[in-house]
A and B are shown apart, each in its own frame.
Chain A
Amino acid sequence: MPNVLTARGLRKSYGAQVAVAGIDFDVRAGEVFALIGPNGAGKTTTLRIIATLLTSSGGEITFLDHDLCKEPDFVREKISYLPEEAGAYKNMKGLDYLHFMAAFYARNPEEEKEFVDRAVAITELGDRLKTKVGTYSKGMTRKLLLARALMTKPVLVILDEPTSGLDVLNALEVREIVRRYVREGTSVLLSSHNMLEIEFLSDRVALIDKGRILDSGTPQELKDKHSAKNLEEVFRSSVR
């Protein structure tokens, strides 16, 4: 599978504080690539750089053969980012929010309708989409935001802790939606500290700690390599 994204020697520092200390990774077409690690490991910073929110302090990032740092406008057309603590405009109705976001990507009204119809199907919120976002539960808001991120079928979806704060059923539903879109060809770069979630969702995983990638591979490869039963044990073994 060809690479959608390639990061080489990616670095980011805030003054003397180093958040990402030169990491290499690739995201292939149609795969889920996950960054796992504890809080403060550098996952969010990496995702924010890929999402064109932050500029890197060094290294190279190539997205579909384009320099991500030099051509952020090109990248924004093809990616979609769902931050960990994202929200939607509370005074907007769910459907209006989807239309508002779809209008940035659609080339014509027909395409906008296609995007919104797809999002409506993902959310499964029915008539609740006609009510204001401010009245939604956390699970409903998260599904609305996930639908927003997936409705345009972007080349790369960046998900930061996609099921953070959700109950078991909502989290399961979100994971199933993500898997379905990956089967349809979308690539996913996600971060989580929920190792079980990563094991269920990811094709390949990179273990990150203190801004460095400790190890990477498929969950099975990593488990075999570290003689571990699950990714939590793999992570503990890598940190040692």
Chain B
Amino acid sequence: MKRFANLLKKEIKELLTKQLVISLAFTVILFNFIGQVSKKEVRKAIGIQTISVLDEDGSAGSKDLLKNLASARFKILDQSGKTKDQAIETAKAGDSKLLLVIPKGFGDSLAELKPSPIETYSFMRSFSLIGARGQVVVQIVITALNEALSNNFLREKLPDMDPASLKKPIKSKDFVVVQDKMAEGSANDVAGMISQQSLLIPIVLFMIVMYSSQMVISAIAMEKQDKTLETLLTVPIKRTSIITAKMLAAGLIGLISAGVYMFAFKGMFGGIGEEAAKAGAQAGGGAALMQKLGLTFSTTGYIVLGLSIFLAILVALAMAMILGVLAEDFRSAQYMIMPLMFMVMIPYFISIFADINAVSLPVKIFILAIPFSHPFLVSQNLYLGNYGMIAAGLVYMLIVFIILVIAAARIFSTDKILTMKLRFGKKKTATV
């Protein structure tokens, strides 16, 4: 145990370099900075916005429109008394994102329920989506006004009729059925919510697998490159302890690195999301709908998901151990990560674009044969109650891990650790 601890300490120290700590700290600071800047911009965009208004009409209808805009968090700069060109120039020179021109006769047209044109001039000082939000909000206000005006007209002319029924005689009431649970809502919204909830799983898995595997492969490749492996293999420590120490250290540092990156991501996107949510961008009823359909994770669900990710990491580490043996030096170690990367990316992309359960049998077998597919499927299978599938996935990953560890231990206990090489374009030779 003392020897194992000695080796583990060395492996952790080798991986936890100043460069890694600086790069992690830099990422956290950078992402946090981007998050703060974006947050400020979102806040600005969804906060009180300045628009210029040239009201050439001055009727009750136009005043009503301006009152509605003011209540939609707009700061209105009155350009009355100016010509249209002067108003455009003034607005362009100032902070206004938009100039709204209400022409003469607007109120009269409204009263007669004739089309009432208004003009908007958007000043695009940047091409970001947030920058164009001013005009979107103005359009929403106008749509709401149109709705109110047409409703008033219909009530006036047909007092016994409901304007909403007149405009939309067919009203669909949507229900979603999942397993034995049913709730009123849209299937589109449910799919959207699930994909939003599951978005983090592949990112976490991808990052941890990539980090840890790269570290294991590099650790072995560096031992080879620095000619320290032969000495290490002759010291009195079990070969399995060497494998375990390398895997454990890489897993630990990989986990910490991925955790730090996730924290940094949260810092970046969290700020933007919070502000957007405050502005009411998120649908309020979504969570209740998911709750009603039983599409929420219980504690057991989280444990199963965690176990699945943990097994996937173990599989990746064992695979990386073998790939590391094939690498000759640090440079070739960079290429060795490619097969693992593809194995994680294939199920990730397929899970985004297709329903794995609905693909053809050969494709399904191919996907399920990739051990990393299973963590992607866990959340979906938990929601749908496919517990057999989840258990099979966990058992499969465990079996793959055991086979890979046995293979790695065998490689480390035999000549293969020194003779097994993957050379590109060179013939294999052995030192005699």
Contact = CB atoms under 8 A, between A and B. Distances in A.
B432 A41 contact: yes
Interface residues of B, number: 25
Interface in B1-40: 2-3, 6, 10, 13-14, 17
A85 B227 contact: yes
Contacts of B2: 103
B234 interface: yes
B180 interface: no
Nearest to B234: A81
A105 B236 CA distance: 7
A76 B241 CA distance: 15
Interface string A144-170: 010010000000000000000000000
Contact of A44 (B236, B238, B415, B431): B431
Given A73-B236, A89-B226, A91-B14, A104 B231 contact: no
A64 interface: no
B230 A53 contact: yes
A19 B236 contact: no
A51 B226 contact: no
B237 A104 contact: yes
B258 to A, nearest CB: 23
Given A42-B432, A103-B2, A104-B3, A55 B227 contact: no
B414 interface: yes
Interface in A33-79: 40-42, 44-45, 48, 51-55, 73, 76-77, 79
A100 B233 CA distance: 14
Nearest to B238: A73
A53 B13 CA distance: 26
Contacts of B14: 89, 91
A29 interface: no
Interface in A190-213: 211
A17 interface: yes
A17 B430 contact: yes
Contacts of A42: 432
A228 B235 CA distance: 41
Given A53-B233, A76-B234, A87 B414 contact: no
A14 B226 contact: no
B228 interface: yes
The interface centre, meaning the residue of B2, B226, B419 with most chain A CB atoms within 10 A of its CB, is: B226
Interface in A1-53: 14, 17, 19, 40-42, 44-45, 48, 51-53
Interface in B398-432: 414-415, 418-419, 430-432
Nearest to A211: B432
B415 A89 contact: no
A196 B2 CA distance: 43
B282 to A, nearest CB: 48
B17 A87 contact: no
A77 B411 CA distance: 22
A79 B432 contact: no
Contacts of A14: 419, 430
A165 to B, nearest CB: 12
B432 A100 contact: no
The interface centre, meaning the residue of B10, B235, B238 with most chain A CB atoms within 10 A of its CB, is: B235
Contacts of A53: 230, 233-234, 415, 418
Given A88-B228, A91-B13, 9 more contacts: A14-B430, A42-B432, A53-B230, A53-B233, A55-B414, A89-B14, A103-B3, A104-B237, A211-B432
21 contacts: A41-B432, A42-B432, A44-B432, A45-B431, A53-B233, A53-B234, A53-B415, A76-B234, A76-B235, A77-B236, A80-B234, A81-B234, A83-B230, A87-B226, A87-B228, A89-B228, A91-B14, A92-B13, A101-B231, A103-B3, A105-B235
Interface of B: 2-3, 6, 10, 13-14, 17, 226-228, 230-231, 233-238, 414-415, 418-419, 430-432
8 closest A-B pairs by CB: A87-B227, A76-B236, A103-B6, A87-B226, A81-B234, A104-B235, A19-B432, A83-B230
